[in-house]
Amino acid sequence: MDAAIDDGVDVLSLSLGGESVPFYEDGIAIGAFSAIQKGIFVSCAAGNSGPNYGTLSNEAPWILTVGASSIDRTIKAVAQLGNEDEYEGESLFQPKDFPSTLLPLVYAGANGNQTTAWCTAGSLQGVDVKGKVVLCERGGGVGRVAKGQEVLDNGGAAMILMNDEINAFSTLADAHVLPATHVSYAYGVSIQEYINKTSSPTSTILFKGTAIGDKSAPAVTSFSSRGPSLASTGILKPDIVGPGVSILAAWPVSVENKTGTDATFNIISGTSMATPHLSGIAALLKSSHPDWSPAAIKSAMMTTADTLNLGGEPIVDEKETTADFFATGAGHVNPTKANDPGLIYDLQPDDYIPYLCGLGYSDSDIETIIGHAITCSSVTSITEAQLNYPSFSVILGSTPQTYTRTVTNVGLAGSSYQVAVAAPKGVNVTASPTEFALGEDGKEEITVTFSQIGTSTDLFAEGALYMISADHTVRAPIVVIFDN
């Protein structure tokens, strides 16, 4: 990262990360702070440890933390059963010559052995799969493509890969080594039931190719790491989601083992694929607005992010239920809207010092991060939720809490805004002023107070702070974590 900074880059894109640690022990967080001191935008992967809560990487507030969502393209492969039921799945490998005739269908775990059900290496050697379609379960630390390799090595004709329960409806298009389809957990259970009640179960796979226009996209995929941030719970993370499922891109070698071709591509999934999408958008915004700080660029992307899918419904997660803000952050990036956000929540590098002092870090720990000596006793420290961030993560007990945000006009001079709140369930939220007008580059401070209504039995609740003009809707998501 230091070398890239010395080279004078404009954006750093990091598709890597580790487990949550304090920022002074996090090499990426330290390197990223050096970058923002030079005006360099830093975009980092949220991690692929979802869908459980508290699984994030790269949580520092001076980093854009990027989760992964699906796109509206699917590469269809349909499992057709002998009873004529069809279950749609995905596979990048689309053989032209696979017969549509039904073949014997077996469940790899029929012997009761979970290792065999996972189709781990060597597990099918004693199982009769020759010439058959084999139902394998996702999981067990075995790669999806590797499961197919085990089926192929033992003479299997095809594989149906069913999700485990935690991955639910999140499927992926992989470069399988044999005819295969990856189906949801629910579909897998239905296929198991068919096998169990049928004396001679049969199946084939129908390859339908590429389809565009999935109205459920974007959806947050199961592997995308979730908040809350363990390093700093008072900052809502991830910040945003972007395309990270079954992403087609250049690849150094042929996945089909073709020789003599430069047309080498692959499809890969991960927050590592979502991150460069956001990095590219950051570069676009920096080109369009060269005077914007890294925080301004981040704010523009977050406050304009989409919360609805292509079908006009709330973005869902791997369970096909509405995704919470610990999955989506502010929502799915919308580059066009981000180029004209109206208002921004800006921060300069030194603005993070009172926040770091408020985390209780020692002077030497903070020096490790910011690169120069600091004495917190001479700084008015702030709580995490007081950082001028384009979202709120408020840990709320019985005592009301008040925070401020300062917005800067990057739209037309004289723009007038109405302030509105969608209060989280069980929380009273007041914001003042309720309206304001700003000149060119004008600033306005908004005071927001949170108080519980009764005692909530929920772990957390969600809402948003809106600033609305004739041309812009500036949205900051709110998560209230109840501390009762």
Share of the chain above pLDDT 70, in %: 100
pLDDT band with cut points at 50, 70 and 90 for residue 317 = very high
Distance CA 67, CA 224 (A): 6
Token pair for 20: 């949550």
Phi, psi of 140 (to 5 degrees): 75, 15
Q: Which residues of 439-468 are buried (b: 16+ CB within 10 A; e: fewer)?
A: eeeeebebebebebeeebeeebbbbbbbbb
Strands 180-183 and 158-162, sheet pairing: parallel
- C-alpha 327/C-alpha 316 separation (Å) is 9
pLDDT surpasses 90 at 314: yes
- Contacting residues for 260 by C-beta, under 8 A, at least 6 apart: none
280 vs 457, more confident: 280
What span, in angstroms and rounded, lies between the C-alpha atoms of 427 and 153?
58
CA distance 430 to 421: 7
3-class DSSP state of 142: strand
Question: How high does pLDDT run on average in the chain?
Answer: 96
Residue 287 has pLDDT above 90, yes or no: yes
Q: 205 pairs with which residues across the strands? A: 79
**Cα–Cα distance measured from residue 484 to residue 482, given in angstroms and rounded to the nearest whole number:** 6
Task: Tell me: pLDDT of 184 over 90.
Answer: yes
Region 301-319 average pLDDT: 98
* 415-422, strands of its sheet edge to edge: 392-396, 473-482, 460-468, 415-422, 435-438
User: Using CB atoms within 10 A of its CB, is residue 197 exposed (0-12), middle (13-18) or buried (19+)?
Assistant: exposed
pLDDT of residue 283 exceeding 90: yes
Q: Is 37 left (phi over 0), alpha (psi -120 to 50) or beta?
A: alpha
Residues 145 and 171: beta-carbon distance below 8 Å: no
Tokens of 186: 């629910």
**How far is residue 78's CA from residue 289's CA, in Å, rounded to a whole number?**
47
pLDDT at 346: 98
* CB atoms inside a 10 Å sphere around CB 336: 7
State how far the Cα of 448 lies from the Cα of 450, in Å rounded to an integer.
7
- HSE-CB at 63 with a 13 A cutoff on CA atoms is 33
Half-sphere exposure of 272 (CA within 13 A, CB side): 12
| Percent helix, strand and coil across the chain, each to the nearest 5 | 20, 30, 50
Residue 202: pLDDT over 90:
yes
| β-sheet bridge partners, residue 418 | 435, 468
Q: Which two tokens stand for residue 350?
A: 């030194």
pLDDT at 82 over 90: yes
Q: Are 344 and 292 in contact (CB under 8 A)?
A: yes
Residue type at 333?
V
d(CA 128, CA 130): 6
pLDDT per position as a tens digit, 98-138? 999 999 999 999 989 999 999 999 999 989 999 999 999 99
pLDDT reported for residue 455:
85
Residue 306: pLDDT above 90? yes
State residue 352's pLDDT score.
98
